[in-house]
Amino acid sequence: MENNYTPVKEDFRFLPRRDSVDDARFASTDYWKNVARQFAKDKFALLGAALIVFVIVFAIFAPLLSFYEYDEIVAITDATGAEVVAKSLSPQFAGGTTGYFSDKTFLFGTDDMGRDLWTRTWHGARVSLLIAFVAILIDMIIGMSYGLISGYFGGVCDNLMQRFIEIIGCIPTLVIISVLAIFMTKGIGLVIAALLITEWIGMSKIARAECLKLKEREYVLASRTLGAGNFHIMFKQILPNIVGPVITQVMFSIPVAIFTEAFLSFVGVGIVLPQCSVGSLIEAGFNNITILPYQIMPPIFVLAFLMLGFNLVGDGLRRALSPKIGDV
């Protein structure tokens, strides 16, 4: 403030009248830019994102660049020059002297069938990521639509749809799997089918709650008075406003889905050999944990990274998306 300003005579002339250009300099902050900035400031969220990116990059490139197929039983030339199957080798470089000599490199060692664990681990990570992707699709397509429709139409429709959710929600996943296993062959298809039945319930509840909150907003009413159809309102007016909570929910349901797959594979109703997933690798490693402890480490870390990564990102997103004081 220029309190010490001494006015001179010329200061007291009227300024020309301005038209009411009403530009009150409102901060031109884009919502998503703001979210991105908040997210970028969040160290934990960035760590989570880094972990996910790390796993994704290796899952894509490591099997491509590997010398072995994931189901290939590798033969090596041992110290005596004989050709043998590379069973249960500890991690080693070609010609290395740690443990059993081999002329080939096994970064994570091999399993008790003689398959390269490095390749298998990253191949297994691919399965986990596929499951993550499927979980996203299930959440977004089934869960969100179900919730939006239930919340928007309300009344009898909502009542029926919610009762249906309660019924399937209270059946334990394992029971569903067992029933499904009667009709389906074991494998990734079974896991996806199991996820299809129950995975979207959480998302539909979130979408429904948000929809209930928003459907009486005046902009929704305005859309109705303009003659917009129900689906236009649901997907064009309401949906863009619930993207925040929806994304957060997706981020939290991904690790649940990954873990479900790993768990099912671990108990033996998931992936079938020689296919592998993080879950089945852990199961295999767990059997040998006392003699070959290195076998269980890589899949466990991949699983941990994914779980931790998605949870951290989900938390970070929730923080970035929630309105704060000072946000206009």
Partner 1 sequence: MTNEPLLKVKNLRQHFKISREFTVKAVNGVSFDIFPGETFGLVGESGSGKTTVGRSVIRLYDPTEGDIEFNGKNIAGNMDRSTRKMLRKDMQMIFQDPMSSLNPRKKIADIIGEGLKIHGFCESKTELEEKVAAILQKVGLLPEHGSRYPGQFSGGQRQRIGIARALVMNPKLIIADECISALDVSVQAQVVNLMKDIQEETKCAYLFIAHDLSMVKYISDKIGVLHKGYLVETGSTQEIFSNPRHPYTKNLLSAAPIANPRVEKQRKLLSYDSINADYEHDVIRQLSDTHFVLEPQGGN
Partner 2 sequence: MPENILSVKGLDISFRGNIGDVHVIRGVDLDLPKGKTVAIVGESGSGKSVAMKAVTGLLEDNAVINGGQILYRYNGNEYIDLLSLNEKEMRRKINGKHIGMVFQDPMTSLDPTMTIGKQLMEGMILHKSYSKSDAKERAVELLRTVGILEAEKRINNYPHQLSGGMRQRIVIAAALSSEPKVLICDEPTTALDVTVQATILNLIKDIQAKMNLSVIFITHDLGVVAKVADFVCVMYAGKIVERGTAEDIFYDPQHPYTWGLLLSMPSLETEEERLFSIPGSPPNLLYEPKGDAFAPRNEYAMAIDEKAAPPMFKISETHEVATWLLHPDAPKVEMPKELKYRIERAKAASL
Residues at the site binding partner 2, with contacts judged by CB under 8 A: 1-3, 5, 7, 9-15, 17-18, 20-22, 24-27, 29, 324-328
Of the two residues 8 and 27, which places its CB atom closer to partner 1 in the complex? 27
Neighbours of 68 (CB within 10 A): 19
Q: C-beta of 43: minimal distance to partner 2 in Å? A: 17
Of the two residues 219 and 301, which places its CB atom closer to partner 1 in the complex? 219
Among 239, 278, 274, residue whose Cα is nearest residue 255: 278
Contact 269, 276 (CB under 8 A): no
**Distant-in-sequence, close-in-space partners of 55: CB < 8 Å, separation ≥ 6:** 125, 129, 302, 305, 306, 309
Q: Which does 222 bind (CB under 5 to 8 A by kind): partner 2, partner 1, none?
A: partner 1
- Contact residues toward partner 1 (CB under 8 A) are 20-24, 26-31, 217-219, 221-228, 232, 237, 240-241, 243, 328
| Residue 70 CB-density burial (10 A; 0-12 exposed, 13-18 middle, 19+ buried) | buried
Neighbours of 196 (CB within 10 A): 15
Q: Which does 226 bind (CB under 5 to 8 A by kind): partner 2, partner 1, none?
A: partner 1
Angle at 8 between CA 4 and CA 14, to 5 degrees: 110
Q: Which does 14 bind (CB under 5 to 8 A by kind): partner 1, partner 2, none?
A: partner 2
Of the two residues 22 and 83, which places its CB atom closer to partner 1 in the complex? 22
The structure tokens listed for 49 are 């994102």
Q: C-beta of 320: minimal distance to partner 2 in Å? A: 11
Of the two residues 28 and 290, which places its CB atom closer to partner 1 in the complex? 28
Q: C-beta of 273: minimal distance to partner 2 in Å? A: 53
